[in-house]
Chains A and B, each alone.
Chain A
Amino acid sequence: MEYKDYYAIMGVARDATQDEIKRSYRKLARKYHPDVSKEPDAEARFKEVGEAYEVLKDPEKRAAYDQLGKQWKPGQEFRPPPDWDAGFEFRGGGYTAGDAGAYSDFFEELFGRGFAGAGGTQGRRTFRMRGEDHHAKVLIDLEDSFSGATRSISLRVPELTGDGHVTTRERTLSVRIPKGIRPGQLIRLAGQGAPGLGGAEPGDLYLEVEFHVHPLYRVDGADIYLDLPVAPWEAALGANIKVPTPAGNIDLKIPANSRQGRKLRLKGRGLTGKQPGDLYAVLQVSLPPADSDAARTLYKQMQDQLGFNPRAAMGVA
């Protein structure tokens, strides 16, 4: 088990006041909130900050944590000394059993199972209640939406043990990704949420689908955009060229006199589904380098014979 430096995580000194800790927590919670933040590891940081605050906001837990001493380094292998919590009477303020999966082993060892009655899940419930619905995210590739795919996802599930304690269990599901799925859509797995109480039916599991960034394609709703490089003469004279699509290469006719940035629509070549999207090839005119005498001669010829002024609209030559 690794030691966690809650003061460093919270960005405050060890002698910070409760107000300073609260202010720092609010700031960090806004910065790393998973629904708002664009930071890459927002969710992990948010949990870490929440855990640190759970300890530091409670004077009693903070005092117990302080008693472990300052000699520990973050990440250092840690075992709590015997009787480290003697003299403290944990009341579990704010810590609820339902959050168990969110905390680190370090926290669990110090403040989790140790103090009796935390969160108040004692006793066996005798009523029937449908299990909670669970929510998670899953990242897939664009290609997975075309061909359908199976993704293996791991979930940490809090579980109530026979004596009323909470543990977490890793559960792996193999999930079929339906063809034609789009970013932001949900998949429902009936009965895969939390187990029901007293023999009632379990809840459902909802997976929100997002796509990995693709090197070639950009997805907008059901439509797919592709930047398609073309030679100046292909754009000017028209051409039949091969274009990659997620479903394989297809032939595309470039009309003569196409401009840079022209969008060519390939109807029905976007994401599949009840209402298939379109694929847009966005022409990117690519200039051949003038790195040989032959190339320079050709450019010179165009300069002399075309009389082309790209800045005519600006009134300058």
Chain B
Amino acid sequence: MDKKDPSTPAVELIDEETTFTLAELCRCCDVEAELIEALVEHGILEPAGRQGRYWCFSASSLRRTRITLHLQRDLGVNLAGAALALDLLERIDELDARLRALSR
């Protein structure tokens, strides 16, 4: 590994086993913990467990949080609407995958 070259930085794979603490998720998405709490209340996020007193989250929470923020910011969607959009998007992805499998 060529760590000295600044243009080839070290990489870290985030897979299904990687979890984010509440603080990490907040930092990564640039939000307050209150918002993450609201996302959990709306069923947009599901805590993967607890670390001490605090929640931790699966890697997919990162994507769901970011999409929610984008929908809020860009389209004025509220959290209930974002939860619905995320469910529908997931369903569309599944259907697309099935359609691709069938149309080959």
Q: 8 Å CB contacts to A: which residues of B3-30? A: 7-15, 17, 27-30
**Which of B29, B59, B75, B97 touches A186 (beta carbons < 8 Å)?**
B59
In A138-163, which residues have CB < 8 Å from any B CB?
A: 150
Chain A contacts with B in 12-42, Cβ cutoff 8 A: 26, 29-30, 33-36
Alpha-carbon separation in the docked complex, A36 to B92 (Å): 10
Per-residue interface assignment for chain A, residues 261 to 285, with 1 indicating a CB less than 8 Å from any chain B CB and 0 otherwise: 0000000000001100000000000
Known: A35-B89, A189-B9, A220-B97. A206 touches B15 (CB 8 A): no
A30-B75, A36-B89, A273-B15 given; A190·B7 CB < 8 A: no
What 0/1 readout, one digit per residue, does chain A (209-224) give for beta carbons within 8 Å of chain B? 0000100001010000
Which segment, of B33-41, B42-50, B61-69, faces chain A?
B61-69
Q: Which of A171-179, A251-259, A290-298 contacts B (4 or more CB under 8 A)?
A: A171-179
**B85: interface (CB < 8 Å):** yes
* Known contacts A35-B89, A204-B28, A227-B104, A189 near B74 by CB under 8 Å: no
> B-side binding surface: helix, strand, loop or mixed?
helix
A174–B8 touching, CB < 8 Å:
yes
Contact A150 B8 (CB under 8 A): yes
Cα distance A150–B97 in the bound complex, in angstroms: 27
Number of interface residues of A (CB under 8 A): 43
CB contact under 8 A between A173 and B100, given known A132-B30, A273-B15 = no
Residue A208 is within 8 A (CB to CB) of chain B in the complex: yes
B-facing mask of A105-116, CB < 8 A → 1, else 0?
A: 000000000000
Question: Number of contact residues on B: which range applies?
Answer: 20 to 34
- CB pair B89–A133 under 8 Å, yes or no, is no
Q: A178-B11, A188-B12 are in contact. Are A218 and B75 (CB under 8 A)?
A: no
Q: Name which residue of chain A comes closest to B5, CB basis.
A: A174
Give the contacts of B58-104 with A (CB-CB under 8 A): 59-60, 62-63, 66-67, 70-71, 74-75, 85, 89, 97, 100-101, 104
Say yes or no: is A164 at the interface (Cβ < 8 Å to chain B).
no
Residues of A within 8 A of B28 (CB): 133, 204, 206
Q: A204-B28, A225-B101 are in contact. Are A185 and B11 (CB under 8 A)?
A: no
In whole angstroms, how far apart are the Cα atoms of A26 and B11 in the complex?
A: 39
Task: Looking at the assembled complex, report how far the CB atom of A203 sits from the nearest CB atom of chain B, in whole angstroms.
Answer: 8
Closest to B60 in A: A184
Q: Is the CB of B30 within 8 A of A133?
A: yes
- 7 nearest CB pairs, A to B: A186-B14, A178-B13, A188-B12, A174-B8, A35-B67, A189-B9, A133-B28
| 14 pairs, A vs B, C-beta closer than 8 Å | A30-B75, A133-B28, A173-B8, A173-B9, A178-B11, A181-B13, A182-B15, A188-B11, A189-B10, A190-B9, A206-B62, A218-B101, A218-B104, A225-B101
On B, residues with C-beta under 8 Å from A are 7-15, 17, 27-30, 59-60, 62-63, 66-67, 70-71, 74-75, 85, 89, 97, 100-101, 104
